[in-house]
Chains A and B, each alone.
Chain A
Amino acid sequence: GESVGLHLPTLSVQEGDNSIINCAYSNSASDYFIWYKQESGKGPQFIIDIRSNMDKRQGQRVTVLLNKTVKHLSLQIAATQPGDSAVYFCAETPMFSGGYNKLIFGAGTRLAVHP
């Protein structure tokens, strides 16, 4: 079945280091991917997205890399700060002609930033 999984359930980093959160997806028909950040007691917050016609996309301190050959997605956070501590989800949307293309979420990775 369709699934979006994460390799590392918990990632601990030192403040100022770079963080890399990985995600594997299983549906080769997925063509749009989103990374979300969720802080305790809050809803998922959009970080960055990428379409399948791209390999890399950069935002402010974040970069998403997409490797369609091995169906792998990663989120890189530069100069990680304590405010980056949260659970990070990747989500995929399978290509669908018409109607609503639902988000399929993985279980999430917790990022803990230590001073």
Chain B
Amino acid sequence: NAGVTQTPKFQVLKTGQSMTLQCAQDMNHEYMSWYRQDPGMGLRLIHYSVGAGITDQGEVPNGYNVSRSTTEDFPLRLLSAAPSQTSVYFCASSYSRQGRAYGYTFGSGTRLTVV
């Protein structure tokens, strides 16, 4: 049981480049989300999805796009990388019970550096 798998683990980008961070879960969870973690801080929500074909913005969505074509996958796209996007990115999945998310499970993270 792999849980939540993120790739790549490390990435260095030049300013202006684009890339996609991959996230896959094998727990059949309805909800998936992306968080970023900056040094000395807690995680902040970027985007989330409550099911295939449904996505919405979190508190720090600017510069990122997401899509959810399947239950298992939730990629995060950086359109034009900026140094301010240097961070560690975590994907999480959670199951739904009575309309709420529980059992948040996190991946091991992608450490992104934009130079």
Contacts and interface: CB of A to CB of B under 8 A. Distances in A.
Given A96-B100, A98-B99, A103 B45 contact: yes
Given A100-B48, A100-B101, A106 B106 contact: no
Given A102-B58, A103-B45, A46 B100 contact: no
Contacts of A98: 99
Interface residues of B, number: 29
A68 B48 CA distance: 28
Interface of B: 4, 31, 33, 35, 40-45, 48-50, 56, 58-59, 90, 92, 99-109
Contact of B101 (A41, A97, A101, A106): A101
Given A32-B100, A34-B104, A44 B50 contact: no
B104 A46 contact: yes
Interface of A: 4, 32, 34, 36, 41-46, 49, 89, 91, 93, 96-103, 105-108
Contacts of B92: 103
Given A43-B90, A43-B107, A103 B43 contact: yes
Contacts, number: 63
Given A93-B101, A96-B100, A102 B109 contact: no
Contacts of B102: 32, 49
Given A100-B48, A100-B50, A44 B99 contact: no
B99 A43 contact: no
B33 A102 contact: yes
A106 B100 contact: no
Nearest to B103: A46
Most chain A C-beta atoms within 10 Å of own C-beta, residue among B44, B50, B100: B100
Contacts of A36: 106
Contacts of A89: 42-43
